[in-house]
Structure 1
Amino acid sequence: MPSWQGKSKGNKLGYRIFIGILRYGGVYPAYFLLRFVAAYYFLFSWSSSKPIYRYFHEKIGYSRLKSLFSLYSNYYIFGQTIIDKVVVMADMGNKFTFDFDGEEHLRQLVAGGKGGIMLSAHLGNWEVAGHLFKRLNARINIVMFDGEHQRIKEYLASVTGGRNVNIIVLKDDLSHIYAINEALSNQELVCMHADRFLPGNKTMTADLLGSPAHFPLGPFLLAATFRVPVCGVYAFKESATHYHFYSTEPKVYNGRREQELALNDFVAGMEEKIRKYPTQWFNYYDFWVE
């Protein structure tokens, strides 16, 4: 089964072109150019298209034709989320609006004074709700793979200024565990994706959309070991300039015996959101156990 390799596609020139368009023309010209980029991936990137097409056809149950249309839509929306993320992080002028379901849960997480973990997935684009995190008056630590090419990361950092968040990079020497522990000890919030892992990482298995799939052990082990409140967080694009943010109620998992419960709760919430926003799961490899 092909696995995710921890890297994203794209190059520095592509980012530079889109950011230049955003600065001088706004999101709509960038979205127009994006239609051609999405068409390129739709036509020529079979390695990433195949698993997404199978997801629409076999797991969601779409017809072959609808699966093809949904495949193109998935690429196009994915590109939009990247553009939107840069616009929001760099404080560029925009007309984005937001609905918030569960903001009170995040405020409860902060008010608890124990820190907390926010679990998400490669669903939607929750990062665009960063201004909500500003209102929380809490430090946010995002745990992520060091999968982007260094030049792209440096260029985006120069554009966005690295605002609002602290990045904790997952490393083979497990130094990220100490960084997470320090963040939680300081009553800070830690956010991580819980739907991907690199080859060789320890995993757990749960049913998603009717078939068993592997999930990384780490996020659920951390949630159960540190015994801090855990929320699921997502944000989905509902129109060109409107997003809907969701947060679940905080829940504490008491010890390693409950890490499977943490996984099952996460997968149940993830499946609910996939069925509601099927074209906004950006998963370009074979996800299910074969």
Structure 2
Amino acid sequence: MSDVERDAEAGWAPRSAGWRRWAYWGARFGPRAFVRWSPPLIGLGFGMALPRARRQVLRNLRRIHGRRDEFSELKDMAATFGAFAACLAESLAAERAEGRAARYRVVGAERYEALRERGEGVLLATAHVGPWDAAAQGLRGTRQEPILLVMGQEQDAAAGTFHDLVRRTAGLEVRRVGAHPLDALPVLEWLQAGKVAAVQMDRAPKEGAIVVDLLGAPFPLPKGPFALASVAQVALLPVFASRRGFFDYRIDVGHPIRLPRRADREQVEGAAGAFAAQMGAFLRSNATQWFHFTDDALAADLDLDE
């Protein structure tokens, strides 16, 4: 039985289509005060009900901070689940007036603009951090150009389809990959046409991962984005979003990473290490906005558990 199935039996299935629709209606049509103040309490409830996710969050925090006193760890675990609920609510509420008037502060925008001024395609490399959809929205706002979100298949396909509709309403394109080896071909064509795509880097398949050092411990990254950047001859640009307040976001644009067209293993591993270094720097300042909830087999083998 999968984690999702076990969670569903307990009445808590945050990745299910039914729950996603319920969350959408509350976020889209609920009173402003509800959308602003209820997510931390809802997130805390999920954290209490989902022991596997709670264990992984603790591993993440220990990867970043090391072991600390119990109060500090519990406080940051609660803050992480609260931040996740707030980011999800605001993602689903993009059609609200507050969503359309969201504030974006882009730090390092000149690095993105320099690539676009040259007409180059760009592969934005992010992670399950903060309001990650907002990273695409904030950069899109500088030029009002289409950005393609490249995402893996959700465990509940109906939930993914529903959320993708919300994203498209907000002006973002979505491409799901992973079901077939040729799924990424349209993404390659998109990049080669000089357009922008975004991909999350902190959820690698069991096969074909690159193990890097992330904050002093091994972590798997997917090979696919590096292969795409190499073949398409576009820059892989680290971009991370953090939530600073109600529909108030900061987007940190990192330094572009480039690979030759026929990159060898050493060059790919070097690029992966460069990305991990930039991701680690972001996480040190935003530890409670890393929503990497899936079991990390590598972390499980380390001294990061209770």
Shared fold (TM-score, shorter chain, > 0.5): yes
| Contact persistence 1:120–1:194 (CA under 8 A) | yes
- Counterpart CA distance in 2 for 1:181 and 1:159 is 24
Distance (Å, rounded) in 1 between the aligned partners of 2:275 and 2:47: 30
Give the Cα separation in 1 of the matches to 2:118 and 2:293. 37
Q: Is the alpha carbon distance of 1:224 and 1:3 closer, same or farther for their aligned partners in structure 2, counting shifts above 3 Å? A: farther
Query: For 2:73 and 2:188, how far apart are their aligned partners in 1?
Result: 43
Given that residues 101 and 245 in structure 1 are in contact (C-alpha distance below 8 angstroms), is that contact kept between their aligned partners in structure 2? yes
Q: Output one character per residue of 1:194-227: Cα deviation in whole Å (capped at 9) or x when no partner.
A: 111233x201111112111221111122223332
1:99 and 1:245 in contact (8 A); partners too: yes
Instruction: Quote the offset at 1:167 in angstroms.
Output: 1.7
**Which of 154, 169, 179 is the aligned partner of 1:147?**
154
Gaps of 5+ in 1: none
- Percent of residue pairs identical: 19
Structure 2 residue aligned with 1:42? 47
Return the match for 2:143 from 136, 139, 151.
136
Cα deviation 1:204-259 (Å, max 9, x = unaligned)? 11111211122111112222333212211111012234211111233422231321
SS at match of 1:138: coil
- Do 1:124 and 1:281's aligned partners in 2 also have CA atoms closer than 8 Å? yes
8 A Cα contact 1:229 1:251, kept in partner? yes
Alpha carbons 1:57, 1:64 under 8 Å: kept: no
Alignment correspondent of 1:69: 75
In the alignment, is the contact (CA less than 8 A) between 2:168 and 2:174 conserved in 1?
no
Q: CA deviation at 1:3?
A: 10
TM-score, with length taken from structure 2: 0.82
RMSD: 2.7
Do the aligned residues in 1 keep the contact of 2:64 with 2:284 (CA within 8 Å)?
A: no
CA distance in 2, matches of 1:36, 1:3: 23
Which secondary structure does the structure 2 equivalent of 1:176 belong to?
A: coil
1:36 is displaced (CA, Å) by 3.6
| Equivalent-residue separation in structure 1 for 2:160 and 2:3 (angstroms) | 23
Q: Deviations over 1:175-197 (max 9, x none)?
A: 22311221122111121111112
Match of 2:249, SS state, is strand
Identify the match of residue 175 of structure 2 among 168, 181, 204: 168
Query: Match of 1:245, as an amino acid?
Result: I
Give the direction of change, closer, same or farther, for the CA distance of 1:50–1:184 in structure 2 (3 Å limit).
same
Q: Is the 8 A contact 2:257 2:274 kept in 1?
A: no
Out of 193, 201, 221, which is 1:194 matched to? 201
Q: Which of residues 111, 115, 126 is equivalent to 1:109?
A: 115
Q: 1:282 aligns with which of 273, 277, 291?
A: 291
Deviation at 1:138, TM superposition (A): 2.9
Q: Are 2:85 and 1:79 equivalent residues in the alignment? A: yes
CA distance in 2, matches of 1:19, 1:176: 28
Of the candidates 171, 179, 188, which is equivalent to residue 186 of structure 2?
Answer: 179
Stretch moving more, 238-247 or 115-124 = 238-247
Say whether the 8 Å CA contact 2:40–2:83 is kept in structure 1. Answer: no
Q: CA deviation at 1:71?
A: 0.8
Counterpart secondary structure, 2:20: helix
Given residue 154 of structure 2, which amino acid in structure 1 is its aligned partner?
G
On the 8 A contact 1:134/1:164 being kept in 2, the answer is: no
C-alpha separation in 2, matches of 1:170 and 1:118: 16
Report the TM-score, using the length of structure 1 for normalisation. Answer: 0.86
SS in structure 1 at match of 2:293: coil
Q: How many residues align?
A: 285
Give the aligned partner of residue 227 of structure 1: 233
Distance 2:59 2:255 in 1: 33
Q: In the aligned structure 2, how far is the partner of 1:146 from the partner of 1:160?
A: 15
Alignment CA distance shift 1:132-1:55 (3 Å): closer
Residue of structure 1 aligned with 2:106, choices 75, 88, 100: 100
| Alignment match of 1:123 (pick from 120, 125, 129) | 129
User: How far is the alpha carbon of 1:19 from its aligned partner?
Assistant: 3.2
- 2: CA distance between counterparts of 1:69 and 1:47? 18
Aligned in 2, Cα 1:23/1:193: closer, same or farther, shift over 3 Å?
A: closer
Contact preservation (8 Å) 2:40, 2:86: no
Q: 1:271 aligns with which of 272, 280, 299?
A: 280
CA shift in 2, pair 1:177/1:159, >3 Å: closer
**Alignment partner for residue 207 of structure 1, among 213, 226, 233?**
213
Equivalences for residues 218-257 of structure 1 within 5 A? 218-254=224-260, 255-257=262-264
